[in-house]
Structure 1
């Protein structure tokens, strides 16, 4: 008679692996809010739970469409989807764990306990290699310790279920101990959010091995919207501000079989609200908001004849119709005279939000703007598409947020272009770096100069508390104004003036007296001038100066640079 140890699930194939990933995605989605609530800072942020959920869900969505029992194929598909869909540091690390797992499973029909333990170990190695300074008390710690114990368990019993049980037990212990390993977590009294997400993934996969799949999570659309767009706090945000003037739509009678991926990338770089539907045989439908409607239509005309075209000026609601005959003529003209696109030496991509901030980066020479930041970290795929849309041999990427740097670095492995990440952690840092760019200099010289410029500016932010919290002996109430200096909370309260004063004091204390204030979408110029006056009284006696600039950013009332 078999012992309970011998009755455990022996191995998995590709179909089983699909269920494991789908199960893990559902578990993380169900617990997204709980993971987010473990975030230490009470700022409205690109939260860990949301980033991990969107990352693994991109793989689950693709796996649901994949018909295979090949383990390597399923694992590779999951890893590829996660890498492209990865958002934020936690999402990128999650994708790297599964990329290492995938590499280990190549060429294997079924994975038993030893093969699975080896895969978990390779996943950890893949993640550690990508992180510049791995810290204890994080998702990396939880993943490493669970993989180490899994390897030992496989020597005792080669069933995958037995090995996964051991991995889960160790992950639970490791997660509990993160609170003691990381001083910030200890101060806040919480465990690591990313580690919690990895534990949930491991536990849900164990349930799947036992034949118990997760009930599909209901989409909490109201909550997801609040995570992505906390800017509802800015009651006075002017929705009449339109960045891209022309709503451009067309239907094309497709000619040929050329993939439309390049067209999608090019149109995405020219505007927003892009919808491109290509049946790859007869029809392409396009909708995009852009300031360059004729250029957009010229690009589209390469794929066939226009059946219908509509260009609408959204500022004045004027609609212009172009006939099918005119569209066909435009196609012919395009085929006869369009020059090949020449690659320039350098290009720039920046991640930011707010029409004022975007305009500043564009004026500095940025070729493509990715809308994103604290409340919505762009995925590796988003960054990759922007890079591919820039007609340049070398593309510098400015993440402008510490939680986006890793995703940008992963995009470098997916493009044939030379992608260089300038590790800007804030909008002021990104602006300062771009100012130093010299098109006449060599690539490495530009990299060094722009990277060095990041240390010449300090960044300050004024936002609101998303929840009650206690941090560094400060009692923070939901809705309080919060002032942060280099991402550290220095002041909070129900009035904004004292918060601004504390930031001004900190800047002068650090020898930073040249101030530029970028005011957000919910702030009028008079309020911005009042904020500037607080800084002027502090920095002008020290020989400094203050400028104010419209940023239009959500979430942050003010973004402030100090030199």
Structure 2
């Protein structure tokens, strides 16, 4: 796609009035990347309510799901209200863990307040009220609110935002900046509020994640990057006895002798870590599920689950809820959901295994063995091609970008101990990497993402996949083959724009090479041959032509293109496939 001009980039920074949808899109992009970078740091800080080391991963996956849903809605030209609804629903469906579920409710409140904003309201007031409602919702969502957690950080940020917005001259960016600064200050105070943090010498992991999000919001709303949090003082932490690998947890998890109180790893080799007590009488399992149920059934469900365990969070609305609880009796927790409605996507985690059990070597994890490939496919024909080659398929493509949760489900559901993921799209690469990180952290799988940027690169990589090779060698061969593929595509312009090949108008045929527009024309066949000529200028032995959905591809375009190749390049082998992909009349590859 063409790079935006500086003027368009500056339009993303709101100065007054209604908060723009493009600003929210920029925020979730920045937040996803920032949480991805801070994921390991936040995971290492995770000691409350259970030291399961996954808070950063859960927050990252939750925001990534929200970003994916918003991106898909915008690509489908959904209106503002539908796009905001998609963002909130994406966060709800993709939420993982206690922190992720709470965050999904907070994001939902923020976008709902933004969606109800009137044209005559100041953006500063809208944002302040959004943050205030988000904090209120976070407290309401948790069965037993505890200070010194992300709840305290959220409340401090909201209070600062409201105070700053009371100035009639305050703008949206100033409100977000005040909220982010207050959150960082509140985070530093969390060890004073929660003994388990003080004993471990760390700040709250969920609160740190919320600070990362607010910092991303500050960048999205002002264009500035907040200062890097200072590295906190070192607090000596005695090295305790490790928890036994079998039986109930009876002591704290092992930690290094010193850990930083705040701030990320600065590269000197000291990685933040933490330990916390896991008592024999504490819940052994984390249970999560989505629940289809009427609102009137939720209060009873909360009572049932509160009696079974702790860390209870139930969020959602309009018939769909995300349920999280820590219990000993998994069956009873699920049965409570069945009595309330229809639970699905049930996920159970055994804390003792998650905290103390070493990662299982490939092939020894409860029956998992062998290697599988997960491929993102952009159309029904491409689905069949990848499936016939042995891949587990996830539907993707323009307007149908998969979520990290969908890719994660495919990775963990394929039954293999080693998994290769073919993203096959620029935007899907980030999603695939987030899912791969989660699969490795949660399931001990060995996962490699090959950053294929086009469907035809994925097909080429799939063709050389050999499960009999070592994992590393197979990944190297597939990656090298994909990189040697020169790829292009033919599409039709839907709006007036300036491209690298010149201006285009709706209905113009656009030719692309490696994602860049190189030709604008009025005849699909002529543009296709132009693109192929460019791709073959450096030589080539095999050309692959993938024909799109009939609505996108003129009749016989694939056959006419193959005939042109036979006449103009007779020594080149040509293969034509029916891919059925949307938007692209042809996808082209030269090997």
Query: Scaled by the length of structure 1, what TM-score is found?
Result: 0.48
